[in-house]
Structure 1
């Protein structure tokens, strides 16, 4: 409907709508939070948690509906057919832009349990976003630099304890825990600084995924290896809002989790090496898929 407008105008319109949608849904979340304070017993808590999930789904639907009106962008989602809404999942994705979050929300809406992000504690103070995510039981983690931990060794391992406590809460209702394995957004500067062995990815960090698998135990049986590929862009988030992408590809590879992938990543040196090597193999296959998908997108463009 609005695709005739200049792309920057479309970008501004989409950003404003997403902000208003966030404000509207946050107000609904706060209402839920107020009544949740006066609920007694697990039944009441679970009821309001489910209502919160519905509001999060409403936020996703509203964004999808509006982007459909303002842009001609389409999604090619591969491998979503066998997913179930009553399962527990660990979702491991490559990370290029904060637009990745909107892409994942769209790709998995109403197909799997609500996506839960492990967020930096500093984001708790971001208006609307932080408080809403806190009410919706998103886990917040305090991150320390290596230099800080060397000076304060008693704080080492707190991330693990926070992960375990968060995962204990997730056991009561089907959840999808998202882990951006690279630990940061991909940029050419970071890629070169790492001397990454991959063509399209940063090196994977295994600790977070290993902690989640150990904490969740046998209830978590599958990992979703998700690959997001955009057309070539220097400013992915802005081009996404402007509707400059004709297609965004989301490739889903379901990996069965067996007992060999659960262990003490901190204390068991052999398991740590095994798990890191396993994740490196997963990342190597992902890197190859990205190369293939990019080649396909370029062929379609030409």
Structure 2
């Protein structure tokens, strides 16, 4: 059985990258002519494709809980694997991400990241990186929509603990937007450094909105407590022993 699941996983991963190229190339004229909205449509189409094929090819079903944000908000999310990026983007109508600068030069991904208004950050420069991130996040060309930041700054394996980065607090403080924390358990089924995809129910849970105006220190404590508590609950529900 495990051998068959590995085979299914390899086939799933292969088609996922083939379809990334297909969506990117076929959709490029449409995105260039239609602008940001068209590029978002192409990206969401691809994300929905991967979520759909994950269900029947490797047995990873998807579910959203809570109220999916549709207005202008900051989403501070848990990040466990590539799949939570896809699930979040498939759900929100006008999403964009804070992302590491190296991805700008990635074929296909970099093209569309620029077109939908993603904000590249040089994570090695700390203070300068935060300043640049804030300036780009307020760029009028990409105003409006849902800005997603992974609050721990990187992928964190299911069940592991890492500190939350100040970037999520700086954006909340500077932009004056409400924040929607987002929890997940996707790393239980789609590990960050593994080929095997395990069947199960992958969940992204959008937690109650936090109004703007909270002191940054208090805000950081609140989002960490909410996201970690909800994610631990989802992972325990998926069968992972926490702690």
Q: TM-score, normalised by structure 1?
A: 0.68
**Equivalences for residues 194-205 of structure 1 within 5 A:** 200-205=160-165
2:208 aligned to which of 240, 248, 254: 254
Structure 1 equivalent of residue 81 of structure 2: 97
With over 3 angstroms needed to count, the CA separation of the structure-2 counterparts of 1:245 and 1:116, relative to structure 1, is same
Say whether residues 1:63 and 2:57 are aligned partners.
Answer: no
Deviations along 1:184-207, whole A, 9 cap, x unmatched?
22259xxxxxxxxxx85321112x
Structure 1 equivalent of residue 96 of structure 2: 116
**Equivalences for residues 1-302 of structure 1 within 5 A:** 6-32=4-30, 34-35=32-33, 47-80=34-67, 83=68, 85=70, 87-106=71-90, 108=91, 112-145=92-125, 156-157=127-128, 159-169=130-140, 172=143, 174-187=144-157, 200-206=160-166, 208-217=167-176, 220=177, 222-230=178-186, 232=188, 236-237=191-192, 242-258=196-212, 260-261=213-214, 274-298=215-239
Query: 2:188–2:238: 8 Å Cα contact kept in structure 1?
Result: no
Q: Which ranges of 4 or more aligned residues in structure 1 deviate by more than 6 Å? A: none
With over 3 angstroms needed to count, the CA separation of the structure-2 counterparts of 1:288 and 1:119, relative to structure 1, is closer
Structure 1 residue 223: Cα displacement = 1.5
Alpha-carbon distance in 1 for matches of 2:38, 2:99: 22
Structure 1 residue 297: Cα displacement = 3.1
Structure 1 residue 105: Cα displacement = 3.1
Alpha-carbon distance in 1 for matches of 2:11, 2:54: 10
SS at match of 1:247: strand
Structure 1 residue 168: Cα displacement = 2.8
Query: 1:11–1:238: 8 Å Cα contact kept in structure 2?
Result: no
Larger Rg: 1
**Unaligned 5+ runs, structure 2:** none
Superposed CA RMSD = 3.1
Query: 1:119–1:140: 8 Å Cα contact kept in structure 2?
Result: yes
Corresponding pairs, count: 240
Structure 1 residue 232: Cα displacement = 4.6
Query: 1:88–1:113: 8 Å Cα contact kept in structure 2?
Result: no
Deviations along 1:129-168, whole A, 9 cap, x unmatched?
212322332222233346xxxxxxxxx5353234223323
Deviations along 1:22-55, whole A, 9 cap, x unmatched?
11221144324654xxxxxxxxxxx422111111
